[in-house]
């Protein structure tokens, strides 16, 4: 479409939320903030070339984070109440 017919901010938001790495990135960064290390090193490098140290936990936290409508407070609670913390 034409720029005048499209709200670019809304379209960018849709692209970000549809990304398979959005929720994992936030979970990885928050985990790193609380525990001092993330699931990947460096923490901002997610992808098939850099597998996470605990893929199952990252996937589950990311899935639950998405289900909770990206509730940061809930994510922080899950992390601080976890056994590793």
pLDDT of residue 1 exceeding 70: no
- The C-alpha atoms of residue 56 and residue 52 are separated, in whole angstroms, by 9
Two tokens at 71? 């509730």
Q: What is the pTM of this model?
A: 0.85
80-83: long-range contacts (C-beta < 8 A, 24 or more apart)?
80/34
- The C-alpha atoms of residue 41 and residue 23 are separated, in whole angstroms, by 17
pLDDT digits (tens, 9 = 90+) for 10-57: 999 999 999 989 999 999 999 999 999 999 999 889 888 999 999 999
CA 67, 53, 85, 16: dihedral to nearest 10 degrees? -30
- The C-alpha atoms of residue 49 and residue 42 are separated, in whole angstroms, by 12
């Amino acid at each position: 479409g034409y720029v005048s017919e499209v709200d670019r901010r809304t379209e960018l938001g849709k692209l970000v939320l549809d990304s398979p790495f959005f929720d994992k990135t936030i979970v990885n960064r928050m985990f790193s903030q609380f525990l001092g290390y993330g699931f990947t090193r460096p923490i901002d490098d997610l992808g098939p070339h850099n597998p996470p140290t605990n893929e199952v936990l990252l996937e589950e936290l990311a899935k639950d984070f998405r289900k909770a409508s990206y509730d940061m407070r809930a994510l922080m609670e899950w992390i601080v109440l976890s056994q590793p913390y």
